[in-house]
Structure 1
Amino acid sequence: MDKIKNPFSPGAGTPPPELAGRDAILEQARVLFGRVRAKRPEKSILMTGLRGVGKTVLLNEMEYMAENDGYKTILIEAHEEKPLALLLIPHLRRLLFSLDRMKGAGDKVRRGIAVLKSFISGLRVTMGDVEFGLDIDPEQGSADNGDLEIDLPNLFVAVGEAARERGSCVAILIDEIQYLGKIELSALIMAMHKMQQRQLPIVLVGAGLPILPGLAGDSKSYAERLFNFPDLGPLPEKESAKAIREPIESAGEFIEPDALVEISRLTQGYPYFLQEWGYQAWDHAESSPITKKIIDETSQIVEKRLDENFFRVRFNRLTPKEKTYLRAMAHLGEGPYKTADVASALDTDIRNLGPVRAILIKKGMIYSPSHGQMAFTVPLFDKFMRRAIPEFPEKDHS
Structure 2
Amino acid sequence: MRSPRTNPFQPGWGKPLVWAGRRHAVEEFTDIVLPRVAEGVKEVPRLIQDERGMGKTALLEVLRDEADDRGCVVALATAVRGENFTKALARALDAQLAAHSLAGRVADTVRRSLSRLAGAELGPVGVDLVAADDSDVASTVLHRTLVDVAMAAREAGTQLVVLLDEVQNVDAPHLAVVFTALQKAAEHTVSVAHPAGGALRLALPLTVWAAGLPGSLARFKQAGVTFGERCELAGLGPLDERDVREVLVTFDKRNDAGVVFDADAIDLFVAQVRGYPYAFQLLGKATWDAGTGAVVTAEEVAAGADAIVVPMRQRYAARIDGLTQEQVAYLQAVASLPPEQRTPTATCRRYRNDDSVAASRCGGMTQRLVDDHQVLRMGADGRFQLCLPGMDDYLRDLIR
Q: TM > 0.5 between the two? A: yes
Matched, 1:377 2:387: yes
- Of the three residues 332, 352, 371, the one matched with 1:330 is 332
Partners of 2:267 and 2:247 lie apart in 1 by 12
Output the CA distance in 2 between the equivalents of 1:94 and 1:76: 7
* Structure 2 CA distance for partners of 1:345 and 1:179, relative to 1, 3 Å: farther
Alignment-mate amino acid for residue 262 of structure 2: E
Opposite residue 332 of structure 2, the aligned amino acid is A
Deviation of residue 130 (structure 1)? Answer: 0.9
Kindly indicate whether residue 324 of structure 2 is the aligned counterpart of residue 311 of structure 1.
no
Task: Name 1:298's counterpart in structure 2.
Answer: 304
SS of equivalent residue, structure 2 residue 296: coil
Q: Residue type matched to 2:275 in 1?
A: G
Structural mapping, 1:148-297, within 5 Å: 154-164=140-150, 166-167=152-153, 169-178=159-168, 190-198=180-188, 199-209=203-213, 227-248=231-252, 250=255, 251-297=257-303
- Taking a change above 3 Å as real, the CA distance of residues 342 and 38 of structure 1, as seen in their structure-2 partners, is same
Change (3 A) 1:130 1:343: farther
What is the distance in 1 between the residues matched to 2:78 and 2:384? 26
Shift of residue 110, structure 1, vs aligned partner = 1.9
Structure 2 gap segments, 5+ residues each: 189-202, 354-360
- Partner SS, residue 252 of structure 1: coil
Q: Deviations over 1:33-90 (max 9, x none)?
A: 44435544333333344543322111011122333444443333346x437xx21224
Question: Does structure 2 retain, via aligned residues, the 8 Å contact 1:119–1:144?
Answer: no
Distance 1:372 1:177, change over 3 A: farther
Aligned partner of residue 110 in structure 1, secondary structure: helix
**Match of 2:146, SS?**
helix
| C-alpha contact (below 8 Å) 2:9/2:281 kept by paired residues | yes
Q: 1:211 to 1:95 in 2, by over 3 A?
A: closer
Deviation, structure 1 residue 281: 1.7
TM-score normalised according to structure 1 size: 0.70
Residue 312 of structure 2 aligns to a residue whose secondary structure is helix
Shift of 1:261: 1.3
Offset from partner CA, 1:82-111 (integer Å, 9 cap, x none)? 37xx21224304634764895773672423
Check 1:286–1:73 CA distance in 2 against 1; reply closer, same or farther (3 A cut). closer
* Identical positions, percent: 20
Task: Return the alpha-carbon distance in structure 2 between the equivalents of residues 97 and 371 of structure 1.
Answer: 46
Q: How far apart in 1 are the matches of 2:48 and 2:371?
A: 22
Deviation at 1:248, TM superposition (A): 4.4
Partner of 2:192: none
Mean Cα deviation higher: 197-206 or 372-381 = 372-381
**Using the alignment, how far apart are the partners of 1:342 and 1:129 within structure 2?**
53
Residues 239, 263 of structure 1: CA spacing in aligned structure 2 closer, same or farther, 3 A cutoff? same
**1:52 touches 1:272 (CA, 8 Å); kept in 2?**
yes
The code of the aligned residue for 1:311 comes to Y
1:195-222: CA deviations, max 9, x gaps? 2332344431112456667888998889
> What is the number of residues matched between the two proteins?
363
User: TM-score when scaled to structure 2?
Assistant: 0.70
Structure 1 pair 97–176 and aligned structure 2 pair: CA distance change class (3 A)? closer
Which of 127, 130, 135 in structure 2 is aligned with 1:129?
127
Pairwise CA RMSD: 4.6
CA spacing shift, 1:160–1:386, aligned 2, 3 Å: same
Mapped to 2, the partners of 1:183 and 1:76 lie a distance apart of: 17
Query: Per-residue displacement from partner, 1:114-169 (whole Å, max 9, x unpaired)?
Result: 37869999x98xxx92169xxxxxxxxxx9856x6x66763442112331464475
- Report the 3-state secondary structure (helix = DSSP H, G, I; strand = E; otherwise coil) of the residue aligned with 1:129: coil
Amino acid in the other structure paired with 2:261: I
Summarize the Cα distance change of 1:42–1:351 in structure 2 as closer, same or farther, 3 Å threshold: closer
Q: 1:104 to 1:112 in 2, by over 3 A?
A: closer
